[in-house]
């Protein structure tokens, strides 16, 4: 039987290559995040979350395009959930853009609630004012006697 020895240099090159690949993929993800953030800033929106792609969304070295699931806030303060695909030499492409929180609808609901509360307070104050006027008339009548 022969003993097969793997040269240390080959193992070192493999480990070094894997480390360099992981480092490059991290740099690419940072560039993607910056590219998407600039895209939103130009449209007066705010990027809220952009998690790292999972293994199934991106291969080890993140070749070609990468898919991110993000949340962002538009200029009307609505919060969206979307899928974003981007690449090193490509632009930002959206799909499955859905509004999670519609601020205008929420604001209208809260305004209706506040309107109801204010109407109740106004009715109470009008009743209180009527009672005070009646008491004032009664006091004037008793003082004149």
The ranges assigned to domains in the chain are: 1-101, 103-145
The 8-class DSSP code of residue 65 comes to: -
Sheet containing 66-73: give its strands across: 46-49, 66-73, 79-86, 93-101
What are the angstrom distances between the C-alpha of 6 and each of 13, 75, 128?
A: 12, 60, 96
CB 73 within 8 A of CB 48: yes
pLDDT tens for the chain, residues 1 to 145 = 555 666 788 888 889 999 998 888 788 888 888 888 888 888 888 888 887 765 555 544 455 677 888 888 888 888 888 888 887 777 888 888 888 877 666 667 777 888 888 899 999 999 999 999 999 999 888 888 7
Q: What is the pTM of this model?
A: 0.56
């Amino acid at each position: 039987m022969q003993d097969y020895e793997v040269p240390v240099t080959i193992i070192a090159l493999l480990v070094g290559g894997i480390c360099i690949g992981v480092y490059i993929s991290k740099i690419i993800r940072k560039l993607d995040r910056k590219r998407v953030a600039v895209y939103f800033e130009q449209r007066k929106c705010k990027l809220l979350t952009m998690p790292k792609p999972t293994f199934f969304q991106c291969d080890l070295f993140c070749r070609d395009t990468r898919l991110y699931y993000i949340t962002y806030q538009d200029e009307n303060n609505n919060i969206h959930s979307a899928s974003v695909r981007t690449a090193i030499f490509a632009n930002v492409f959206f799909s499955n853009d859905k509004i999670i929180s519609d601020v205008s609808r929420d604001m209208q609901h809260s305004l209706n609630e506040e309107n109801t509360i204010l109407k109740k307070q106004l009715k109470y104050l009008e009743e209180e004012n009527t009672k005070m006027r009646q008491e004032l008339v009664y006091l004037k009548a008793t003082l004149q006697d």
